[in-house]
Structure 1
């Protein structure tokens, strides 16, 4: 496995609509997944979309923290679970929205307040092409919405006017990345 370079908006791949994944048995695709997981954890982040590593594929990886007892209390059985989802779609979302602070590995040092659905149902395929489905709430729902936006060339800064440069205190707080 190896760490991948996380691109910034100067690279046009980040703003393009990503291409559907069709080849699941390709060793290069499987290597991309492993490298994305390693890159996300090393960054550190809680999600990463293939366009963020300059690969125009509809692929995301998501993992909520599991480093502390508080992580397990907050995230329950989702703490530390790695979700690999190809061709993800939000098929249902709650009408209730919640405002939260987000950051992005492709926008280092920038944070913003974004309204997101409180709950989403996401479908797609796992790393082997099998159908996959998850009902996500709270922070996990926010992470999935953020990462799926990347697949359509949308950055969190496109969804809000409340954006700021992070301070040292901000960086200590957990934000979606």
Structure 2
């Protein structure tokens, strides 16, 4: 790839991934039942509503779903990831991947994206706890809410040793191993 093509490839992939991260956060907010009045939640809902609301209106016909799982957003995540591989394959590699490969790469990419999102959320949580442990911010509330179940699992695997909590390190290593394994399935560094 030439320099300009590599830059275009990076920007197209980045735009798809940022949209997918926002949609994944929307699913997490709904799952953990974060109020729509929460300041950080409002940002995510405002960013993703132009995409999600038209489809929700079609499916639910004006009714609101009180389900804990945001099925419309999950379906959109899968469709946008499929579209990402179609666009990257056609524009930059001049190939149209077969449907079976598209599904396999989409599943691998979604697992990788979730692992990367959780990895960086835990990293942010650890850095903030070192810099200013008493800091309160609306985004940190959501980060703590989403990452705490994973860190509880890490604390179960390795309890605190002399007051040091090694659970973030253990969970981050596990998440990175899963992400690297799944990313190895993806073709030509898509």
Pair member with larger Rg: 2
Structure (1/2) with the larger helix percentage: 2
Structure (1/2) with the larger strand percentage: 1
Structure 1-normalised TM-score? 0.22
